[in-house]
């Protein structure tokens, strides 16, 4: 399939112009309510896994700097569009294209930190958050200039033939999304809890001055946090594009949902981000399938507000970790 997909209305993940929608429609007309529920469940887990990876990216930077990086969604967008360039335009093998995409977006994240966050000496957390919003707008404008406004897609990692489970059609790319999410969470947990660099990064968040006194290079740790966060965003964008398309303005909504998952799960908690992201995805999918797609965003936000009203620190967070300290 060639990219871009030009002309006509933008097709969504299950839009009438997409092959995925056609396959799903044909299957859904032949299966029972139980089969439809399985379909909605798998769709929700897939979407929720994307939210979870975005939330993990938020948590990495928050754990080191207390900053909420609202450019995180743009890392996902860039991952998807750069992957399209390498696979469709440059026609590189998929594994090489994936590695180059992650490397490219990681470099973008590092450059963002060096040129926008690093020069701010003694700036408040709120100031740096505003800077990340400005960078997000800049990235979106650059992507629109390079790729235009059309949605893009590239072939799935393992072919387009779906698997059938209890009558529900499951795209093989869904399994890649789930696998990559699990790998990212496990690796990040091991990195922060078991490695010297990971522990040094956490020390920078707790007390930057004390970290400097014991020889930790705080600026280097912050740089690494932005690079890691961008790498995870690139992975998310690369694995989601074959099933949901990618366009220049997709990052803002992904950042909003990912931030909601991070807060719901508890800021700083990787496993909390995964649970909350998957929960939001399932609720959205069930609402869209059983009620109306127009209410899915509202239902997810209402759930977020209710949980935070009862437990402000999130499902797996603590009171200290849920506060942005230096507003």
Q: Is a pLDDT exceeding 90 seen at residue 144? A: yes
On the 0-12 / 13-18 / 19+ scale of CB atoms within 10 A, 16 is exposed
pLDDT tens digit string along 236-250? 999 999 988 899 989
- The secondary structure of the chain, three-state, reads CCCCCCCCCCCCCCCCCCHHHHHHHHHHCCCCHHHHHHHHHHHHHHHHHHHHHHHHHHHHHHHHHCCCCCCHHHHHHHHHHHHHHHHHHCCCCHHHHHHHHHHHHHHHHHHHHHHHHCCCCCCCHHHHHHHHHHHHHHHHHHHHHHHCCCCECCCCCCCCCCEEECCEEECHHHHHHHHHHHHHHHHHHHHHHHCHHHHHHHHHHHCHHHHHHCCCCHHHHHHHHHHHHHHHHHHHHHHHHHHHCECCCHHHHHHHHHHHHHHHHCCCCHHHHHHHHHHHHHHHHHHHHHCCHHHHHHHHHHHHHHHHHHCCCCCCCCCCCCCCCCC
Least trusted range by pLDDT, from 61-65, 115-119, 129-133, 180-184: 61-65
Contact (Cβ atoms closer than 8 angstroms) between residue 302 and residue 296: no
pLDDT tens digit string along 260-316? 888 888 887 888 888 999 999 998 888 888 877 777 777 777 877 888 788 877 777
**Angle between helical axes of 250-265 and 72-84 (0-180°, round to 10):** 130
pLDDT tens digit string along 71-113? 999 999 999 999 999 999 999 999 999 999 999 999 999 999 9
Q: For the chain, first and last CA: distance in Å?
A: 48
pLDDT tens digit string along 12-47? 444 333 434 444 544 445 567 777 888 888 888 999
pLDDT tens digit string along 185-216? 888 888 888 888 888 887 877 777 788 888 88
The answer regarding whether domain 32-310 maps to CATH 1.10.3470 reads: yes
Q: How far apart are CA 126 and CA 161, in angstroms?
A: 47
């Amino acid at each position: 399939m060639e990219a871009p997909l030009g002309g006509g209305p933008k097709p969504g993940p299950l839009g009438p112009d997409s092959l995925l929608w056609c396959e799903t429609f044909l299957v859904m007309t032949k299966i029972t309510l139980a089969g439809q529920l399985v379909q909605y469940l798998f769709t929700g887990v897939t979407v929720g896994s994307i939210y979870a990876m975005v939330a993990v990216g938020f948590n990495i930077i928050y754990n080191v700097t207390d900053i909420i990086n609202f450019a995180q969604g743009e890392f996902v967008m860039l991952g998807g569009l750069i992957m399209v360039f390498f696979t469709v335009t440059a026609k590189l093998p998929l594994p090489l294209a994936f590695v180059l995409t992650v490397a490219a977006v990681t470099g973008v994240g590092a450059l963002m930190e060096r040129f926008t966050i690093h020069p701010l000496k003694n700036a408040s957390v709120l100031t740096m958050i505003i800077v990340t919003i400005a960078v997000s707008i800049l990235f979106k404008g650059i992507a629109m200039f390079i790729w235009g406004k059309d949605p893009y897609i590239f072939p799935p990692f393992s072919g387009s033939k779906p698997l059938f489970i209890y009558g529900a059609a499951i795209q093989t790319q869904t399994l890649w999304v789930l696998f990559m999410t699990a790998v990212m969470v496990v690796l990040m947990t091991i990195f922060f809890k078991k490695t010297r660099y990971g522990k040094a990064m956490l020390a920078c968040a707790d007390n930057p001055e004390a970290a400097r006194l014991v020889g930790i290079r705080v600026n280097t740790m912050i740089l690494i946090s932005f690079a890691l966060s961008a790498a995870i965003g690139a992975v998310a964008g690369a694995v989601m594009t074959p099933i949901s398309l990618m366009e220049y303005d997709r990052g803002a909504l992904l950042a909003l949902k990912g931030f909601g998952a991070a807060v719901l799960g508890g800021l700083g908690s990787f496993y909390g981000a995964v649970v909350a992201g998957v929960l939001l995805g399932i609720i959205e999918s069930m609402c869209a399938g059983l009620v109306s797609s127009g209410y899915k965003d509202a239902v997810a936000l209402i759930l977020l507000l209710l949980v935070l009203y009862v437990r402000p620190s999130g499902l797996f967070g603590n009171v200290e970790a849920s506060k942005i300290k230096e507003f």
